[in-house]
Structure 1
Amino acid sequence: MAAWLTSDMPSDTLVGLDLGQSLPFVDRGAFFPGWERSPPDARALWRLVDALCARDPHLAACSFVDHADAAEHFRRHGGRKGRWFEGRGRLRATEQAQRLQGLNPYSNLNLVGAAQVGKSSLTGMRVLHRIGAELPIWPIDPAPRSGSCVVEIYTSIAAIAAGRTKGRTKIRDGAALDSALAALGSEPFGHDGPIDDHRSDALLTAAWLRAHARRAELWNPPTLTPDIARTEGWTFGVT
C-alpha cells in the first residue's frame, strides 16, 4: 500500500485511512509515562514503532506490543493488562470530541475485541512513517493547497451523514448501500444481495470524503491546537 500511495496513486487524491494516527499524549504529557524512550511527537512515535518492529514481516507491530516497556501501557489478549492501562484505556483529544458527537471510540491502547483499532493503528504507523516524507498527513502536516493528502477517518461519521442511525452504521446489504450512497450524492454501487461491511465502509466513506472535502470547518476544528496536531493527530470530520 505504501508504494501505491507514493508512486501510483492519482494526483489530488484525498486518502482516508481507518486507523489512529497516533496514541494518547495530551492527557498525561507523554505517550508512555515512565518510559525514558517515550517519543515527543507523532512522527517520533512512528519511527520508534518502525524501529522496534524492523524484523516483523508485513509491517506488523508485534515486537512493539510485546516490548517490556511499551506493553505496560496496553491491554492485550489473554487478560494481560499493563500497569498503566486503566478502565477502557486513555483517549486522544479527537476521541474525546468523538464522544461529544455521540460516537463510541475505543482507546488505541486497547488491543482486544472486534471493535478495537489499536492493532491497525500501530501497523498503520509503520505505513505513515514510510509515506510521511512524500505525502502530507493532516493535521500533523498542514493541509496542502493542492495535491494529495492523507487523513484519518471514522467510518461511522460517513454512515450517519448518509442517514444511518448510530446503532446501525454497518451496512451488509447492497440495496442499503446504494440508498446510503444516494444520500451522499453518489451513484449506486449496484451490488445485489449481501456485502461485507469492510467494502461498504470503504465505499461509503470515499463518497462522503468526496462530498465534504471542501468544507473549511472540517479542516479547522475549534479544539484542535498545534500541540494536539503534532502529537496526537485528529480524525477528519470530528468537530
Structure 2
Amino acid sequence: MRSFSQFACFDWSGQAVARPKGLALATIDGARGAHPRLHWPDGGWSRGAALDWLIDRADQGSDMLIGLDLSPTFPFVDTGAYFPGWSDSPVDVRSLWALADDLCRDDPHLGASGFVGHAEARRYFRHGRGDVGDRFGLTGIGRLRAVEHHQRATRQANSASCFNLVGAAQVGKSSLTGMRVLHRLAGRIPVWPFDPVPAHGPLIVEIYTSMAARAAGLPGNRSKIRDRATLTTALEAFDAPPPVRLARYDDHSTDALLTAAWLRHVHRRPEFWAPEALSPHIARVEGWTFGVV
C-alpha cells in the first residue's frame, strides 16, 4: 500500500454563513514525533478558502492524504437511483456533484439551500417536524448508503441519513456543500474509492471523525474533546504529541487534530483500502468511509 508523508483532516460544516464555525483544518507530517497543527486563518475558514487550499495541494503535488468529514454521495444502491422517481436523478457520482453545484448556483458561500429547497429535490428530505418529504424513505431514519448500513450493523459507527436536515445529527447540507467543493475541484485531486489511488500527489478520502475518537479509546457517548488534557491523552494512542496550546478547545478543532493523527497512524492498513463489503458497484456510485471494514 502506498505511504504518504503528510496528512490532513477537514472537519466540515454545511452552515449557511460565510465562515462556518464548524469548519476546521488540521495537518500532521509523517515523521515520527511530528506535532499535529491546527490551521486557522484570520476570521476562520470559508468553504471557498477550503477549496483554494485543496487546489493548492493539487498544484503543489503534495504527498498528502486528506480526510473530509462529509458524505460525498447520497444513497443509490438501495433503490438503484439517488432520487428514485425523479427524471433528473443523476446516473453517477460526478453528475450528482454537478447537479448539486447547479441547483445551488445562487447560494452564497458554496451553500446548499438551493438544493434542499428545489421543488423536486426537497421531496427526498426531512426538513423539520411535520415537514417530511413524501420520498424521504420508508423508515424513520431515512435512506442510508451501503457503508452506513454496514457501520450500523457492525457497530463501527452510527451514521445518520444524508436526507435528514433536522437536529444535531443532520448531515445533508454538510454533504451537499462538500459535493459542490468536489465538483469545483474538477478532478484535480483523486477521491477514493471513485478513483484509483495515484502513485504520487494528494488523495482525498471520506472520514468519520468519531471513528478516530473511538480508536483513541474515547467512549461513544463522550467522543467530543474540549480540553487540552483529553486531547493529549487521545493523541498518545496514535503516537502523536499535542499541538501548541490552542486559543480554544472546541470539538471541531480537536476532531480535525485527532483525525489527522489517526490517518497517519492507520493509513497503511491494507484492510482499510480493500474492505470486504466494498463492491465495485458500491465504489462507483456511493463510495465508502475510510476505516470502515
Within the candidate set 188, 193, 203, 1:139 is matched to: 193
The answer to whether the Cα contact below 8 Å between 2:206 and 2:290 also exists between their aligned partners in 1 is yes
Residue of 149, 152, 167 corresponding to 1:99: 152
Matching of residues 56-67 of structure 1 within 5 Å: 56-67=107-118
Aligned residues: 239
Letter in structure 1 aligned against 2:85: G
Q: Deviations over 1:196-230 (max 9, x none)?
A: 10011000000000111111110111111111112
Using the alignment, how far apart are the partners of 1:232 and 1:151 within structure 2?
Answer: 13
How far is 1:21 from its partner? 0.7
Decide whether the 8 Å contact of 2:57 with 2:202 is kept in 1: no
When the two structures are superposed, what TM-score results if normalisation uses the length of structure 1?
A: 0.95
Aligned counterpart, 2:6: none
Q: 1:192 to 1:67 in 2, by over 3 A?
A: closer
What is the aligned-residue RMSD (CA, Å)? 1.6
Cα distance in 1 for residues equivalent to 2:187 and 2:237:
36
Give the aligned residue type for 2:127: R
Which stretch of structure 1 is more off in the superposition, 48-57 or 4-13?
4-13
What amino acid sits opposite 2:194 in the alignment? I
Paired AA for residue 113 in structure 2: C
CA distance in 1, matches of 2:168, 2:114: 21
Report if aligned partners of 1:175, 1:191 keep a CA contact under 8 Å in 2. no
* 1:22 and 2:66 correspond: no
- Aligned residue for 2:67, secondary structure, equals strand
**Kept after mapping to 2: 8 A contact 1:184/1:211:** yes
Whether the 8 Å contact between 1:173 and 1:193 is mirrored in structure 2 is no
Task: Tell me, yes or no, if the aligned pair for 1:155 and 1:205 is still in contact at 8 Å.
Answer: yes
Instruction: Name the residue aligned to 1:4.
Output: 53
- The AA in structure 2 aligned to 1:126 is R
Provide TM-score, normalisation by structure 2.
0.78
Q: Partner of 2:39 in structure 1?
A: none
Residue of structure 1 in register with 2:104 after alignment? 53
Offset of residue 84 of structure 1: 1.0
Contact 1:21–1:234 (8 Å) recurs in 2? no
Please give the alpha-carbon distance, in whole angstroms, between the structure 2 residues aligned to 1:192 and 1:113: 28
Out of 244, 247, 257, the residue aligned to residue 203 of structure 1 is 257
Q: Taking structure 1 as reference, are residues 27 and 200 closer, same or farther at Cα in structure 2, changes over 3 Å only?
A: same
How far has the Cα of 1:115 moved from its partner? Answer: 2.1
In 2, are the aligned partners of 1:50 and 1:129 still within 8 Å (CA)?
Answer: yes
Q: Is the 8 A contact 1:174 1:194 kept in 2?
A: no
Change (3 A) 1:217 1:41: same
- 1:1-48: CA deviations, max 9, x gaps? 112111256601111111001000000000111100001111110011
| 1:42 correspondence with 2:103 | no
Is 1:224 the counterpart of 2:278 in the alignment? yes
Give me the whole-angstrom Cα distance separating, in 1, the residues matched to 2:221 and 2:111: 31
CA distance in 1, matches of 2:245, 2:127: 37
Q: Measure the CA separation in 2 of the matches of 1:65 and 1:139.
A: 26
1:33 aligns with 2:84: yes
Specify whether residues 194 and 52 from structure 1 end up closer, same or farther in structure 2 by C-alpha distance, changes over 3 A only: closer
1:107-140: per-residue Cα shift (whole Å, max 9, x none)?
Answer: 0010111122111000110001011411000111
Distance, in Å, in 2 between the alignment partners of 1:192 and 1:59 is: 28
Q: 1:77: how far off?
A: 3.1
Q: What corresponds to 2:45 in structure 1?
A: none
| Structure 1 runs (4+) greater than 2 angstroms displaced | 189-194
